[in-house]
Amino acid sequence: MRWVELPDWAPPGPGRQASLFVEQKLVLVFHVDGRLHAIEDGCPHGGASFFGVPCEGGHLRCPAHGMRFDLQTGSAQGSPEFRLRTLGLAQQQGVWHLGWPGPKSDATGSA
């Protein structure tokens, strides 16, 4: 995982969501049941945006064709070949970092 520092960023409160641009990509962060989930925006089926889509029971329903995705695993219900691009989130020394799948960097030591 490659980690990118998010200076001055604070996560959304419980039950809320936030968006941010990182490396020219829209990232959505959901605070669900005490856990933070980050995804790169874009449905793996056809690319529709999840911006503003409410999280329901830890799931997101795509506004384009209705596929339902588990925020924890990224998998689509009934179609596991379609997966959201889930990202890592970690806080180190008071600064949040976003983890992109890929080669490891030295920004943080763990996923």
Nearer to ligand FES, 32 or 62 (CB): 62
Q: How far is the CB of 82 from ligand FES (least distance, A)?
A: 8
From residue 3 to residue 42, the character string flagging contacts with ligand FES as x (rule: CB under 6 A) and all else as - is ----------------------------------------
From residue 44 to residue 83, the character string flagging contacts with ligand FES as x (rule: CB under 6 A) and all else as - is -xx-x-------------x-xx-x----------------
Measured distance CA(91)–CA(89) in Å, rounded: 7
Nearest to 26 by CA among 57, 48, 2, 1: 48
What the block records as the tokens of 13 is 């409160």
Residue, CB closest to ligand FES: 46
Degrees to nearest 5, angle at CA 21 with 16 and 24: 155
What the block records as the tokens of 33 is 């049941």
What is the chain's length?
A: 111
Chain residues in the site for ligand FES (CB under 6 A): 43, 45-46, 48, 62, 64-65, 67
